[in-house]
Amino acid sequence: MTRTICVPGAMAEKRILIAEDDRATRESWSELLGSWGYKVEVTEDGQQALEAALTRKPQIVLADLKMARKDGLTLLREIREAGLDVAVVMISGEGDIPEAVSAIKLGAYEYLRKPIDPAHLKALLSNIMDHLSVREENDRLRRRLLGEGELGPMLGRSLAMPRVLTLIHQVAPTDASAIITGESGTGKEIAAKTIHALSKRSQGPYIAVNCAAIPETLMESELFGHERGAFTGADRRRDGYFEWADGGTLLLDEISEMKVELQAKLLRVIEEHKLRRVGGSTELPLNVRVLAASNRPLDRAIREGRLREDLYYRLNVFSIEIPPLRERQEDVPLLVDAFIRQFA
């Protein structure tokens, strides 16, 4: 059951979705938010909330951590995986602090403890709306620059570049994975850095890993970390690249150079959003966006058995191919001018 409450004169763009399984609580919240001029939709569990978020596109979601059918953490994760541009505020009860911390790691805007202080909630929602307004203005600016052939450090007005810039502009605000292909020197890592810089994770770490440069015997430990005593020479615990990138973006360059057996573990980590260090027994929650890059055709790597097909399709939500400069010679003057301004 969903119900929409709207007060006269409420601004249509101020849309909030409430996900709360206690009827009295959600009715109280909806009446309060409606009196502040918000258009409010209420849902009684996480599954209803996800369906409403996908179809009605609210700007803010207030979600209880403990709900039937789909809890708040699962709802948050699936909202992020769907690429919805929505601020999620998680509501926790007594004893829910570990889950609330996990929610922040998964990208929640904030978490609040029950009972909610109305004054604090009103100020928080106002701040979120102000933040969204600034972000919309920045997005309009990016679209204008995109039309002029600029997107972050990416430049290009040639016929080959608009698709690249448009794809980067589309994928950056989401949490979707992407595979970036192109010859050596075409700017695959610049594209990955641009995606990170324009994403909601821009304040988090950006980690790039060249899979071809790491020996096979060390790859698993380098990616996932290890516990003390996990193998000869492991005299202390060590975090891996995934933990270093927690809250941000991890680029796996030359992904097809990773041994197939390790690709299976990589797939599980990406799908389950948690990892176990080498020699460890505890699974650690993760909030990492994974990008992959290659200077070779990955369909050939799949045919040759060097790349798992299921891993490829899990990563290939977006596919971005960077053309070589010989196919975009019209961009040479633009690049020369940019380099002169940068180094002068």
> Do 251 and 278 belong together in one domain?
yes
> Do 73 and 219 belong together in one domain?
no
Name the more confident of 264 and 152: 264
Report how far apart, in Å, the C-alpha atoms of 14 and of each of 6, 55, 76, 100, 320 are: 10, 16, 20, 25, 34
Final residue before a domain boundary, out of 136, 157, 177 = 136
Residue 251: count of CB within 10 angstroms of its CB: 26
List the CATH number of the domain containing 51. Answer: 3.40.50.2300
Residue 141 within a domain: no
> Do 50 and 186 belong together in one domain?
no
> Do 27 and 153 belong together in one domain?
no
Question: Sorting pLDDT into bands at 50, 70 and 90, what band is 12?
Answer: very low
List the CATH number of the domain containing 335. Answer: 3.40.50.300
> Do 84 and 163 belong together in one domain?
no
Report how far apart, in Å, the C-alpha atoms of 101 and of each of 18, 39, 73, 95, 106 are: 20, 28, 10, 12, 9
> Do 129 and 172 belong together in one domain?
no
Integer Cα distance of 144 and 252 in angstroms: 31
| DSSP 8-class letter at 278 | B
Question: Sorting pLDDT into bands at 50, 70 and 90, what band is 9?
Answer: very low
Position 54 pLDDT exceeds 50: yes
Strand order in the sheet with 178-181: 206-210, 249-253, 289-294, 178-181, 318-321
> Do 197 and 313 belong together in one domain?
yes
What is residue 4's predicted lDDT score, i.e. its pLDDT?
39
Predicted confidence (pLDDT) per residue in 296-310, tens digit:
889 889 999 999 999
Residue 164: count of CB within 10 angstroms of its CB: 23
Final residue before a domain boundary, out of 136, 164, 195 = 136
Integer Cα distance of 223 and 242 in angstroms: 6
Position 142 pLDDT exceeds 80: no
Question: Sorting pLDDT into bands at 50, 70 and 90, what band is 2?
Answer: very low
> Do 314 and 177 belong together in one domain?
yes
Q: Which helix (H) or strand (E) holds 63?
A: strand 60-64
Predicted confidence (pLDDT) per residue in 169-205, tens digit:
888 888 889 999 999 888 899 899 989 988 888 889 9
Residue 317 within a domain: yes
Mean pLDDT of 69-85: 86
Instruction: Report the chain's mean pLDDT, rounded to a whole number.
Output: 83
Residue 175 within a domain: yes
Residue 144 within a domain: no
> Do 24 and 114 belong together in one domain?
yes
Position 84 pLDDT exceeds 50: yes
Question: Sorting pLDDT into bands at 50, 70 and 90, what band is 144?
Answer: low
Q: Which helix (H) or strand (E) holds 106?
A: none
pTM greater than the 0.75 cutoff? no
Predicted confidence (pLDDT) per residue in 200-240, tens digit:
888 899 999 999 898 888 888 889 987 876 677 777 778 88
> Do 101 and 174 belong together in one domain?
no
Mean pLDDT of 238-251: 91
Question: Sorting pLDDT into bands at 50, 70 and 90, what band is 8?
Answer: very low
Residue 142 within a domain: no
> Do 178 and 268 belong together in one domain?
yes
> Do 110 and 189 belong together in one domain?
no
Residue 42 within a domain: yes
Final residue before a domain boundary, out of 113, 136, 159 = 136
How far is it between the farthest Cα atoms of the chain?
Answer: 70
Residue 51 within a domain: yes
| pLDDT above 70: percentage of residues in the chain | 86
Question: How many domains in the chain?
Answer: 2
Containing structural domain, residue 52: 3-136
Mean pLDDT of 153-177: 79
